[in-house]
Amino acid sequence: MSNTADVIIIGAGVHGANLAFHLAVRGVKPLLLEKNFIGAGATGRSSGLVRMHYDVRQDSELAWISFDYFRNWAEMIGGESGFTRTGFIQIVARKNEDALRKNTAMHQDIGIPSFLITADDVKRLAPSFVTDDFDVAAYEPESGYADPSTTTTSLVNAAKTKGARIVQDCAVTGVMVEGGKVKGVETSQGDFFAPVVVNAAGAWAQALNASVGLDLPFTTWRHDTMFVGRPKEMGPSHPVVIDFPNEMYFRPETGGLTLVGLEDGNPLGESPEGDTDHAQKGFVERAIERICQRVPVMEKGYLHTAHGGYDGITPDQHPLLGQAGPEGFYLQCGMSGMGFKIAPAVGLCMSELILDGESKTVDISIYRPERFAEGKEISGNYESVWH
């Protein structure tokens, strides 16, 4: 196999795969290098939510464009994404309902099918839910979840049919720079050369950034999830839910299961090589308590499995997207837990940035890596109700 390419992408998660696909569509020959196997990092541990509710307009725009891919995957990409429409409900405490209204109005301005519903409406959609601690919720009837591993594999396959290449079990050990420009990478399988290198290495991205002299605020965060067997009283399925008062989200899974994740107690700064086969101590007990607060009948359910995962995170909990450091070095990392649902649009926008000099589909300049040095961290348009 040739050791040269037009673009080298480090990391075969959902972001590296999306970028490879969109570059290949444009006739570019990308080379995707993966230290383990496709989707082995954060992607393989992603909860796979597909929804558009954010309080930063560009976040919602990226999610909305990506949603078109998820619901038309076979036609736009090929293969399967596992997208399942369940509807999505965003629950907030009463004190945050004004922000929720403003966020929903912003989503409607974009064109997202999102609207406010009452607590009684939520009860009709999900009779087993407790609804006496809020008055209104945001509802996206077309949203749901997808399968991250299936999504990423189909992207890689589609990219390969258009000329992309992938090398697995290939750890990148350094980025080669000459005269202020990248020239390629050093790996466990030898050197590969390209005038453009993209760091899409997820929780492992910081070491690569440092290797080219970049000192960016970036660390890892751990995120555990559990799968519980639903009692028959809940019925065959339920909506995807982000439950801000309980700092929790949950969604249905095939086989009569429900996935539950928590948004507190997630350690920062751990090695991404840590144990992900098991959840951290105490997580399952906390998660069971939270899900039973919203869905009391879940007390009749059972624990199926629980595991952990690592992703990269930035201080404002938004990704690093754009050129940084030596000429030809680009970042597509620091997804901070929001990466899966926006990945198709980010891949498209990054391909535009690399090939055309700017992203045209969505202006992603707010995610530029130098924003921290400029004192321009990203914050919501309104009081944040959820990241």
Give the whole-angstrom CA distance, residue 298 versus residue 289: 10
In a domain, 154, yes or no: yes
Domain membership of residue 72 (yes or no) is no
Check which CATH number belongs to the domain holding 259 and give it. 3.30.9.10
Q: In whole angstroms, what is the distance from residue 348 CA to residue 361 CA?
A: 8
Q: Are the CB atoms for 297 and 227 separated by under 8 Å?
A: no
The pLDDT assigned to 255 comes to 95
Nearest to 142 by CA among 98, 102, 83: 83
Asked whether residue 133 is assigned to any structural domain, the reply reads yes
Helix (H) / strand (E) containing 333: strand 329-333
Q: Which of 158, 204, 192 lies closest to 23, judged by CA?
A: 158
Q: What is the pLDDT of residue 38?
A: 97
CA gyration radius for the chain? 21
Q: Could you identify the residue written with the tokens 């992703």?
A: 311
Last residue of a domain, one of 286, 312, 338: 312
For 179, residues 6+ apart whose C-beta sits below 8 A from its C-beta are none
What pLDDT score was predicted for residue 1?
63
Structural domains of the chain, count? 2
- The bridge status of strand 320-323 relative to strand 329-333 is antiparallel
Instruction: Report DSSP state, residue 95.
Output: G
Residue 9 pairs with which residues in a beta bridge?
32, 198
Please give the pLDDT value at position 381: 61
Residues 125 and 227 both lie in one domain: yes
Q: pLDDT tens for the chain, 387 residues: list them.
A: 689 999 999 999 999 999 999 999 999 999 999 999 999 999 999 999 999 999 999 999 999 999 999 999 999 999 999 999 999 999 999 999 999 999 999 999 999 999 999 999 999 999 999 999 999 999 999 999 999 999 999 999 999 999 999 999 999 999 999 999 999 999 999 999 999 999 999 999 999 999 999 999 999 999 999 999 999 999 999 999 999 999 999 999 999 999 999 999 999 999 999 999 999 999 999 999 999 999 999 999 999 999 999 999 999 999 999 999 999 999 999 999 999 999 999 999 999 999 999 999 999 999 999 999 999 999 986 544 344
Q: Do residues 246 and 98 both lie within one domain?
A: yes
Same domain, 210 and 329: yes
Both 308 and 319 in one domain: the answer is no
Q: Is residue 24 part of a domain?
A: yes
Tell me, yes or no, whether 291 and 158 share the same domain.
Answer: no
CATH code of the domain containing 363: 3.50.50.60
- The verdict on 39 and 129 lying in the same domain is no
Query: What span, in angstroms and rounded, lies between the C-alpha atoms of 301 and 285?
Result: 14
pLDDT at 2: 85
Whether 253 and 306 share a structural domain? yes
Residue 386: what pLDDT?
40
My answer on whether 208 and 225 are in the same domain is no
Give yes or no for a contact between 227 and 220, defined as CB atoms under 8 angstroms apart: no
- Between the two ends of the chain, the Cα-to-Cα distance in Å is 42
110 and 28 within one domain: no
Cα distance between residue 337 and residue 331, in whole Å: 16
- Confirm if 180 and 327 have CB atoms less than 8 A apart: yes
- Domain around 181: 7-45+149-217+314-371
pTM: 0.96
In this structure, the answer to whether residues 225 and 247 fall within a common structural domain is: yes
